[in-house]
Amino acid sequence: MHNEHNDEAFLARINNGEHIEPRDYMPEAYRRHLIRQIAQHAHSEVVGMQPEGNWITRAPSLRAKQILLAKIQDEGGHGLYLYSAAETLGASRAELIDLLHQGKAKYSNIFNYPALNWADIGAIGWLVDGAAIVNQVSLQRTSYGPYSRAMVRICKEESFHQRQGYEIMTTMMRGTREQRHMAQDAMNRWWWPALMMFGPHDSDSPHSGDAVKWKIKRESNDTLRQKFIDKTIPQAELIGLTVPDKEIKLDEKTGHYHIGKIDWEEFYRVIGGHGPCNKKRLEHHVHYHNSGAWIREAAEAHKKKKNQKQLTTV
């Protein structure tokens, strides 16, 4: 039963560093927030397979194909972990996917940008997955147990993805003039969208307050973004890439880099459905989800038949 005493005990458990488990008491607002966040995270993993999947047949070597296939398979698995975590909160996977198809659920804005050439696959692995890791390492300590445990495994696999991307960029920067140009062009196009992945400034983020109070979120958007910036700029400089920001400056006292202004108008435009690939990404997901309906139906029929067989043998 919802009452003030239960809410106080709930916050006390969270402040004590305990995990909240599916059968434990939780405020309805906490449950709804988690469903929204975990579903968005799951959708992002699955939709994020699209720009890379387009390059499997065009990867420059058999080794590159194998690595890319393994990475895409990981991302599909991440989506499954996360949908399963959302289901522990009473949300069905079918319901969450239906909301995505209706445009009522979001996924990360970064996946509404196109992967134009092989250097983009490197930039996605290094910058996009690198930004994801910074955020997801923090989520390993989130207050909801199933989400926290899913993130432990996801982070281990994401670190492989980042290394794969950085290797591609490093190799291209050691290559021909044209390859170096491709790598720099990819850096120019993916840098700012990667910074937007952390979300708007904390003062402009409508969900940050509750997320921090409930320890769903352990660090602010701006703190996480700064960690990514401080880590990534030296990596770029090491291989000869130029960060596309003339206002970058290292503060010697704090060790942090100051950057120019992020174009939040672009962020909200893409989130609002007007990015380069919004329509394409969603239509692709809907098409193949519907095309695979027979597989889900066959799996359910097999499960039902198996259960009936077990009942008759008991």
Whether the CB-CB separation of 100 and 43 falls below 8 Å is answered with yes
Which class is domain 4-243?
mainly alpha
What tens digit of pLDDT does each residue of 287-311 get?
A: 999 999 999 999 999 989 888 888 7
CB atoms within 10 A of CB 12: 10
**Is 258 strand, coil or helix?**
strand
Residue ranges covered by each domain of the chain? 4-243, 277-314
For the segment 145-153, the average pLDDT, to the nearest whole number, is 94
What is the pTM for the complete model shown?
Answer: 0.91
Q: What pLDDT does residue 17 have?
A: 92
What tens digit of pLDDT does each residue of 84-143 get?
A: 999 999 999 999 999 999 999 999 999 999 999 999 999 999 999 999 999 999 999 999
* C-alpha of 197 from chain center: 8
Helix (H) or strand (E) holding 59: none
Of 43, 19, 181, nearest in space to 111 by CA: 43
